[in-house]
Amino acid sequence: MKSKFSPIIKLKEQTIEEISANIAELHRKIDRQNEHIAAHKEAYLKRNDPDNGNILYFAQKQLFHVAYKMELNAMQSELAHLYGKERQLQQQLSDERLELERYNVLHEQILDETMQKAKKKEADFLDEMGSTGFANRGLF
């Protein structure tokens, strides 16, 4: 049975599905970012830098180390941003579910009230029919 809250409930359910899909996509992005960071660290650790030789090699090693740190910080910053967005979407999902539950409760209350009114109307009708039928037989 439908009530005035049925379209709102349907809309809230769609919103929850969209937010859940966004969270799933965000989890995939977080996983990819973690993989990129791990690969970046592994590549840095596998790098064979010279221990002796020309001073230019040492300067190049130092520049590479600084560039590595900058790239790693940028990747970690992006990862922190993704985690922040995930928390925001989780909170939004929680809020939407709470609102959906409230509308479901209101929907159920309206349906219960409607059913009670219908039962009362039916009982009144049956009482009236019983009274008129009883009176028509001359027993009343």
Q: Where are the domains of the chain?
A: 6-132
> CB–CB of 98/81 below 8 Å?
no
Segment 65-104, tens digit of pLDDT: 899 999 999 999 999 999 999 999 999 999 999 999 999 9
CATH number for the domain formed by residue range(s) 6-132: 1.10.287
Phi-psi region of 121 (alpha: psi -120 to 50; beta: other; left: phi over 0): alpha
H or E element, residue 42: helix 6-46
- pLDDT at res. 97: 96
Tally Cβ neighbours within 10 Å of residue 65.
13
Segment 104-124, tens digit of pLDDT: 999 999 999 999 999 999 888
- The percent of residues above 70 in pLDDT, for the chain, comes to 90
User: DSSP letter string over the chain?
Assistant: ---TTHHHHHHHHHHHHHHHHHHHHHHHHHHHHHHHHHHHHHHHHH----SSS-HHHHHHHHHHHHHHHHHHHHHHHHHHHHHHHHHHHHHHHHHHHHHHHHHHHHHHHHHHHHHHHHHHHHHHHHHHHHHHHHHHTT--
- pLDDT at res. 86: 96
Tally Cβ neighbours within 10 Å of residue 90.
13
- pLDDT at res. 46: 84
